[in-house]
Amino acid sequence: MPPAATSYVCTIDAAQAVALQGLMADRGWVFDDMPYARWRGRLGKTTVVAYQSGKLTVQGRETAEFVQFLLEPEILHEARFGYETVLAEVESPEQFGPHAGIDESGKGDYFGPLVVACAYTDEASAKTLLQAGVADSKTIKSDKKIAVLADLIRRECADRFSVVAIGPETYNRMYASFGNLNRLLAWGHARALENLLEKVPDCPRALADQFAANENTVLRALGERGKRLRLEQRPRAEADVAVAAASILARAEFVRRLAQLGDGVGVELPKGASAAVLACAKAIAAKGGRDALAKVAKMHFKTTLEALPPL
């Protein structure tokens, strides 16, 4: 099991929690209390928490050993830890071949940049990333976890990745020039892929989510090097490990830059396009007008019309 596999989460009932605690006590685990938990057990640098909700978490260096030799055979009566890669190899073996994945973050966020990332994976890095929990960034709600996974991806991909960040002011100028979000996205995807190909010129293929009805939108934006490789576009491409890795790299950079922009205007800029976003936009517009808003927001969103006072 790779070093990254140092955590595990599952669900157990009250009777299983009692039985597990007994087995752990026999093996020298030390227990204490914790809010919302039935118990917390510690042994060495590994911690197990049985929550009142039924969730059980295992964290630490001995996670694999604990799960595979105690929790699964004695309590869960099934073996599933560590089989994520085996399942992926059966369901989508092509993702373990050398290829690049492309994805973006910030497209649906009023505040902040648009970020496009491209990541290259091979068999070894794909297996490590899958076992570490790399998945579509939209399924990961914690910014802290996104940052941790992004660090892992940067290490495992060994500089074979690229990130293109388009700040709000540049985004607004480019959107006005392109006149179409899909064309702007295609430009970002093409640049991220071309940048990666500078580092991995023999990359055989690339995969991206299909965001435009016309697949040629991205192809037309590619340079000569990009046009020589096989580019695939399909819905829900984030199920592929390289695309998932790109989505996490893009989200991590989006979150970082959003925080910087917020510091610049003295407020915490909320994500998405919610009522909280509108309230924040109105506050910024009231203080600095359209120019202040354009420094931190994508102005073609309808939120702009609602935020700016009528002329």
Which of the four pLDDT bands, split at 50, 70 and 90, describes residue 90? very low
For 17-49, how does the pLDDT look when each residue is reduced to its tens digit (9 = 90+)?
999 999 999 999 999 999 999 999 999 999 999
Contact (Cβ atoms closer than 8 angstroms) between residue 61 and residue 6: yes
CATH number assigned to the domain with residue range 94-258, chosen from the 4 options 3.30.420.10, 3.30.70.20, 3.30.1330.90, 3.30.420.40: 3.30.420.10
Task: Please say if the pLDDT value at position 86 is more than 70.
Answer: no
Query: Which helix (H) or strand (E) segment is 126 a member of?
Result: helix 123-131
> Taking the CB of residue 297, how many other CB atoms lie within 10 A of it?
28
103 is in an annotated binding site: yes
Domain 7-82 CATH assignment equals 3.30.310.10: yes
Phi, psi of 277 (to 5 degrees): -65, -45
pTM above 0.75, yes or no: no
Quick check: 293 and 281 in contact, CB under 8 A?
A: yes
User: Where are the chain's structural domains?
Assistant: 7-82, 94-258, 266-307
Query: Any binding-site annotation on 122?
Result: no
DSSP 71: I
Nearest to 70 by CA among 46, 89, 87: 46
**N-terminal to C-terminal alpha carbon distance within the chain:** 63
Average pLDDT, whole number, for the chain?
Answer: 88
More reliable by pLDDT, 174 or 81: 174
Domains 7-82 and 94-258 share a fold: no
What percent of the chain clears pLDDT 90, i.e. is strictly above it?
64
